[in-house]
Amino acid sequence: MDELTLLSKLHGSNHRQGPGSDAATRLALTLSGIDKSRRLKVADIGCGTGAQTLTLAQELTGEIVAVDLLPAFLDRLQETVSHRHLSADITPLCASMDNLPFAAEEFDLLWSEGAIYHIGFRRGIALWKPFLKPGGILAVSEISWTTLQRPRPIQDFWTQAYPEIDTASGKIKALEEAGYRVLAHFMLPQDCWMENYYTPLQASLPHFLHTYGDDPTAQAIAESTQQEITCYTENKDYYSYGFYIAQKQG
């Protein structure tokens, strides 16, 4: 089985595929200042199984295009949607976030939690900007340092894993340079990582290994997942996801 399929098996039955919370999604929405009484056109890019898509669909009216590369995640989202009463419509779209079939100035709001790193922050915010209406809002969460200095091993680990990791001030500068006005930012608290993401993910590992453990790729995924959790537990004072809420200029 290929790595992507195995990853979707490991993560697909959990509520979230990355750190976050309903409260953080709602806070970002409030800080965006978006007029919730209007019908809005929204894209949730890298939506996974749609934890934050569902929160947005409870809070907003209009249409939310839920984009992900993995059909299995979108299928799960569609199944959940069929059991919920939501005020916005959700349209699943299987597409890559660096090749989105959107029109210029189509969206009031672009949302992306824990996903833009797949194509890089600077590249993502530049590629997506044309899809926003003038004055449209981008709300994006991205791995960020929470201190200016940190121990060498964690510095080296993240710099190798994701060279674009930076402090909030670095991320804000990148947004400003790309032509956005930053309205607000905040760091995800630790419960977004442990209770909402790593604890259920860790609990999924025994079943995952029981089912796919003969596959060396599955073993490597389980090992790197456990390492990632340990890394966070030991270094949680130095990094988190920053949530950045910005407005398209011009």
Residue ranges binding ligand SAM (CB under 6 A):
16-18, 20, 46-48, 51-52, 67-70, 73, 96-98, 113-115, 118
How many Å apart are CA 241 and CA 99, to the nearest integer? Answer: 24
Q: How far is the CB of 124 from ligand SAM (least distance, A)?
A: 10
**CA-atom Rg of the chain in angstroms:** 18
Q: How far is the CB of 129 from ligand SAM (least distance, A)?
A: 17
Q: How far is the CB of 119 from ligand SAM (least distance, A)?
A: 6
Closest CA to 62 of 87, 92, 27, 29: 87
Supply φ then ψ for residue 91, to 5 degrees. Answer: -115, 110
Nearer to ligand SAM, 47 or 65 (CB): 47
CA distances from 29 to 187, 210, 223 (A): 14, 40, 36
Nearer to ligand SAM, 88 or 115 (CB): 115
Nearer to ligand SAM, 124 or 136 (CB): 124
Task: Tell me the residue number closest to ligand SAM, measured at CB.
Answer: 48
Q: How far is the CB of 117 from ligand SAM (least distance, A)?
A: 8
Closest CA to 222 of 201, 246, 239: 201
Q: How far is the CB of 238 from ligand SAM (least distance, A)?
A: 20
> What is the CB-side half-sphere exposure of residue 8 using CA atoms within 13 A?
16
Nearer to ligand SAM, 44 or 166 (CB): 44
